[in-house]
Amino acid sequence: MNLAIRDIRHSIPRFLLTAVGIGMLLMIVMGMSGIYRGLIEDALLLVDKIGADLWIVQHDTRGPFAEISRIPLKMEDRILAVPGIKSSRAFVSHTIQEERNDKPLRIVVQGLSWPQDKGEWIPMTNGRCLASAHFEMIADKSLGFRLGEKIYLGKNVYTVVGLTRNMVGQGGDGIAFFTVRDAIAIQFDNSGEAVRLERDARRSRAIQQDIGNSRPELLDRSSLPNIPALAGPMISAVIVQTEQGADIEKVAKTISGWKDVSVHTAENQRNLLLDGSVDKARRQIGLFRALLVVISAIIMSLILYTLTLDKIHDIAMLKLIGARNSVILGLIIQQAIILGGLGYILAFYFGRWIFPHFPRRVIITTNDLIGLAVIVLAISVLSSLLGIWKAMSVQPNEVLS
């Protein structure tokens, strides 16, 4: 006869309510784990999806994710000249904030190196890749854009030609993919007034220099529109794929010899992200999760201890009529495991229902679920120790009291 089941059957509402409470607690533990995983996945998403062998960034920086990197666009062509390079693509990525329905909308603007890269590697749910050098975009669903919708960004209108899911930047903001030229245009959306002011500033600078006085024609030319007032736009990085069989380290060493750039491997980029920009958030969530596990264990201990106290007279009676300790241990441990197991199942279903409504991705992996199941099992057994200790210390003669 299973005493644990019969005791539960006798007080189903109370037991279910307790299980719901534990389930919600475990859901938070599960959620913290999912947020932790989501944070890492979001941070590494682009590095992993782009599939670059090498990242060429501004000299002595750890860009483009961990810190700002600025290199000239022509670097894309310079890199191609290095033996062993199969392809090089400009990488432009920055976050803009727009207003949509009177609410701020943050967009990670990601440049695709048209025409080599039309976005074929992007996992799309609807629509198509870029088919034009300008004014098309692929947007993540989290941005709330519809396929075919026209979006005003900077001075231009862009048509949403494709939709993706779960393509977000390390801050959790949805990514929109444009051609590099469009991405730069959105980033450096300078007004006409800014251009005019820069031309005037250039003239002022020339006047202050000897060359301006000795060659007055320069002053006349400084305001001509065919000389750009502002310097050409910079890109964040160049992403490189090496040829099959090429020695990546050798290629990296060659490019590292240049004084104006630094080279990072894909693995390097991952480490820079994990050890740098997301490290503190990662550790904070990790510690919070550990704290929640401890709190869950304490709460479960107290619940199981209370459940045992409620049965102390019955346990004394069982001892009096000669029940072995295993019978009493079984009663407490089985209840603890049933409670933990039911709490875990409820946590899973609560989570499936609630987590998709979270603003950032909550990623629950199978490994995390298995890990948490083991933790719940351990908590259940450990937290029943207090109740077991109480049950073992009960004397049969307590039946008489």
Q: Which residues bind another protein (CB under 8 A)?
A: 1, 3, 6-7, 9-11, 313-314, 317-324, 327, 395-397, 399-400
CA Rg, the chain, in Å? Answer: 31
Nearer to another protein by Cβ, of 30 and 304: the residue is 304
d(CA 49, CA 33): 23
Q: Which CB atom, from 7 or from 41, has the smaller least distance to another protein?
A: 7
**Residue positions counted in the chain:** 401
Residues 6+ apart with CB under 8 A from 77: 88
Using the CB atoms, write b or e for 300-310: b if 16+ within 10 Å.
Answer: bbebbbebbee
Identity of the residue, 12 or 224, whose beta carbon is nearer to another protein in the bound complex: 12
Q: Which residue, 39 or 391, is less far from another protein as judged by CB?
A: 391
CA distance 285 to 15: 31
* Residues 134, 137, 143: CA angle, nearest 5 degrees: 150
Q: State CA 25 to chain mean position distance.
A: 23
Q: How far is the CB of 303 from another protein (least distance, A)?
A: 17
Q: Which is nearer to another protein, 226 or 393 (CB)?
A: 393
* Cα–Cα distance, 75 to 116 (Å, whole number): 16
Q: Which two tokens stand for residue 86?
A: 């199969």
Shortest distance, position 18 Cβ to another protein, whole Å:
15
CB of 14 to another protein, least distance (A): 12
- Residue 39: is it exposed, middle or buried by C-beta count within 10 angstroms (0-12/13-18/19+)? buried
Nearest approach, Cβ of 296 to another protein (angstroms)?
A: 26
- In the bound state with another protein, the residue whose beta carbon lies nearer, of 167 and 315, is 315
- Output 2 or 209, the one with its CB closest to another protein: 2
Count of CB atoms situated within 10 Å of the CB of 24: 15
Minimum separation from the CB atom of position 342 to another protein (A): 18
Strand partners, 95: 108
What is the nearest approach in angstroms of another protein to the Cβ of residue 17? 17
Instruction: Give the Cα separation of 163 and 188 in Å (integer).
Output: 25
Phi, psi at 87, each rounded to 5°: -150, 155
Kind and range of the H or E element at 314?
helix 312-320
Choice between 284 and 325, CB closer to another protein: 325
Answer for the pair 264, 50: CB distance below 8 angstroms, yes or no. Answer: no
In the complex, the smallest distance separating the C-beta of residue 324 from another protein, rounded to whole angstroms, is 7
Least separation, in Å, of the C-beta of 8 and another protein?
8
